[in-house]
Amino acid sequence: MRILDVESLPIPAVKVVRFARFRDARGYFTETYRASDVAAHPDLKPLNGAHFVQFNESFSSRGVARGLHFQWNPNMGKLVRTVSGRMVDLFLDIRRGSPTLGKIAAYDMPASHAADHAEWIWVPPGFAHGNFFPEPSLIEYGCTGEYSQGCEAGISPLDVGLDWSLCDPTLRALWHESVASPRMLMTEKDRNGLTLAAWLADPRSENFVFETP
Q: Are 186 and 127 in contact (CB under 8 A)?
A: no
Omega cis (within 30) before 74: yes
pLDDT, residue 19, reads: 97
pLDDT tens for the 213 residues of the chain, in order? 999 999 999 999 999 999 999 999 999 999 999 999 999 999 998 887 789 999 999 999 999 999 999 999 999 999 999 999 999 999 999 999 999 999 999 999 999 999 999 999 999 999 999 999 999 999 999 999 999 999 999 999 999 999 999 999 999 999 999 988 888 999 999 999 999 999 999 999 999 999 887
Q: Is 117 a catalytic residue?
A: no
pLDDT, residue 49, reads: 75
Q: How far is CA 4 from CA 40, 46, 154, 178, in A?
A: 13, 18, 34, 32
Domain range summary for the chain, segments of one domain joined by +: 3-204
Q: Where are the alpha helices (DSSP H) in the chain?
A: 35-40, 169-180, 188-191, 196-200
User: Which is the catalytic residue, given 33, 51, 69, 147?
Assistant: 69
Q: Are 97 and 31 in contact (CB under 8 A)?
A: no
Yes or no: is domain 3-204 CATH 3.40.50.1100? no
pLDDT, residue 173, reads: 95
User: CA-CA distance, 158 to 13, in Å (whole number)?
Assistant: 23
Q: Is 69 a catalytic residue?
A: yes
User: Which is the catalytic residue, given 51, 141, 147, 176?
Assistant: 141
